[in-house]
Homo-oligomer: A and B are copies of this chain.
Amino acid sequence: MPEDGPVVARTREELRAALASTGRPRGFVATMGALHEGHVSLLRRARAESATVVASIFVNPRQFDRADDLAAYPRDLGSDLDVCAAAGVDVVFAPAGEEVYPPGSATTVDPGPIGRVLEGASRPGHFVGVATVVTILIDLVAPDRSYFGEKDGQQLVVVRRIARDLALPGAIVGCPTVREPDGLAMSSRNERLAPADREAAAVLRRALLAVRDAHAGGVTDAGRLRTTMLEVLAREPRAHVDYVSVADPETLVEAEGSRAGPLLVSLAVEVGGVRLIDCEALPAG
Contact = CB atoms under 8 A, between A and B. Distances in A.
Contact of A165 (B107, B161, B168, B169): B107
A274 interface: no
A251 B105 CA distance: 11
Total identical chains: 2
A112 B106 contact: yes
B101 A165 contact: yes
Nearest to A99: B167
B165 A105 contact: yes
A167 B12 CA distance: 9
Contact of A164 (B102, B132, B251): B102
Given A139-B139, A167-B12, A169-B139, A111 B104 contact: no
Contacts of A136: 165-167
Contact of A112 (B12, B108, B165): B108
A188 interface: no
Contacts of A106: 111-114, 161, 165
A248 to B, nearest CB: 11
A135 B163 CA distance: 11
Contact of A107 (B161, B169, B250): B161
Contacts of A112: 106-108
Interface string A153-195: 0000000011011111100000000000000000000000000
A142 interface: yes
A221 B252 CA distance: 54
A109 interface: yes
Contacts of A105: 164-165
A230 interface: no
A140 interface: yes
A131 interface: yes
A165 to B, nearest CB: 4
A58 to B, nearest CB: 13
A110 interface: yes
A161 B103 CA distance: 10
Given A107-B111, A108-B112, A112-B107, A102 B135 contact: no
Interface of A: 12, 101-102, 104-114, 131-132, 135-136, 139-140, 142, 161-162, 164-169, 250-251
